[in-house]
Amino acid sequence: MASSPMKQEARWGVLLALPAIIGFVAFTFLPMIASAVISLTDWTIGAAPKFVGFANYTRMFTADDSFFKSLWATLYYTLGAVPLLLIVAFAVALLLNQPVRGQGVFRVIYYLPAIVPIVANSMLWIWLFNPDFGLLNTLTEKAGLPRSQWIFDESTAIPSLILMSVWGFGNVAVIFLAGLQGVPRQLYEAIAVDGGGAWRKFRHITLPMMTPTIFYSLVTSVIGALQVFVQAAVMTEGGPNDSTLFYIYYLYRTAFTNNEMGYASALAWVLFLVIMAVTVVLFRNSSRWVYYEAGSTR
């Protein structure tokens, strides 16, 4: 009975958060420490680990072509997929924010692809990409454009997967939609009073007010894109000629096909550092273009 309500509240807080904390420590933090240690060893599954210092990291940067190839494939994918995804999601969110009949129906339709499981999605796109009787080539042919080999050609494989990634814009669009609804109406009214049209509203109200949402989506999309895996595993197996050997897929192959746990752990840490660096850069630059509403304008 000696404890104050404040103290009791803190105790309850910790207690209720404990499952998450334990989960994080046991399944994320400790494995991370373990993989950092493993990354300093030469350890193949079934054999005893040997301490090798930074040899795995040296090998990565000096003697592993696949490392650079996979890094490039992943960056290429990220640079293509993220901007396209954000633009499409933003455009669709703007449309879905219009007060029209059947607004709810449209919102459902545009969100649907996002809830298709990624593997089912991949199987579907394998058919769409089929150069002989796939829907995409049928369409390009009808439009008088040349046929593409899509995921079956080294040069078009990654662009094809970028195109496919945009199909799952639903999640980002929902976040944008929520952001759009949070833009204060009086600002639009003010611009209307001043005689500004739709473009001005978009350029000077919507866009600046949306920058925090855009920034959030940008960071999460970049992190997600850098970890692209399923498309390579299900659709291309890294091919043709390793052109879609995405970083995580390469890591997975190293760990479970080549059984090199030490090297795979080192790869994982390099990716972690890359993602961290990219995120830091994005945050550092964000002050230049992200506008945070001053607390009291509403």
The answer for residues whose C-beta is within 8 angstroms of residue 201's C-beta and 6 or more apart is 188, 191, 192
Determine if 194 is a binding residue for another protein (CB under 8 A).
no
Among 233, 251, 264, 290, binds another protein (CB under 8 A): 233
Residue 167 has a CB neighbour count (10 Å cut-off) of 16
Shortest Å distance, C-beta 1 to another protein: 43
In angstroms, rounded to a whole number, what is the distance separating the alpha carbons of residues 286 and 298? Answer: 23
Residue closer to another protein by CB (options 242, 293) is 242
Phi, psi values for residue 153, rounded to 5° = -125, 140
On whether the CB atoms of residues 85 and 291 are closer than 8 A, the answer is no
Among 3, 181, 241, 285, binds another protein (CB under 8 A): 241
Among 223, 240, 279, 286, binds another protein (CB under 8 A): 240
Looking at 16-24, 197-205, 216-224, 232-240, which segment touches another protein (CB under 8 A)?
232-240
Residue closer to another protein by CB (options 196, 240) is 240
Among 130, 140, 220, 227, binds another protein (CB under 8 A): 130
Residues between 7 and 66 that touch another protein (CB under 8 A): 44-47
Residue closer to another protein by CB (options 217, 244) is 244
Phi, psi values for residue 51, rounded to 5° = -75, 130
Residue 42, beta-bridge partner list? 50
In angstroms, rounded to a whole number, what is the distance separating the alpha carbons of residues 223 and 160? Answer: 20
Determine if 285 is a binding residue for another protein (CB under 8 A).
no
- 3-state secondary structure at position 44: strand
**N-term to C-term CA, the chain:** 43
Among 235, 248, 251, 267, binds another protein (CB under 8 A): 235
Looking at 198-206, 216-224, 253-261, 272-280, which segment touches another protein (CB under 8 A)?
253-261
Residue 292 has a CB neighbour count (10 Å cut-off) of 10
Closest C-alpha among 190, 220, 215, 180 to residue 78:
220
Among 29, 61, 68, 256, binds another protein (CB under 8 A): 256
Residue closer to another protein by CB (options 89, 260) is 260
Residues between 146 and 165 that touch another protein (CB under 8 A): 149, 151-154
Sign for the pseudo-dihedral over CA of 203, 208, 210, 214: positive
Footprint of another protein (CB under 8 A): 44-47, 119, 122-123, 126, 130-132, 149, 151-154, 230, 233-236, 239-242, 255-259, 261
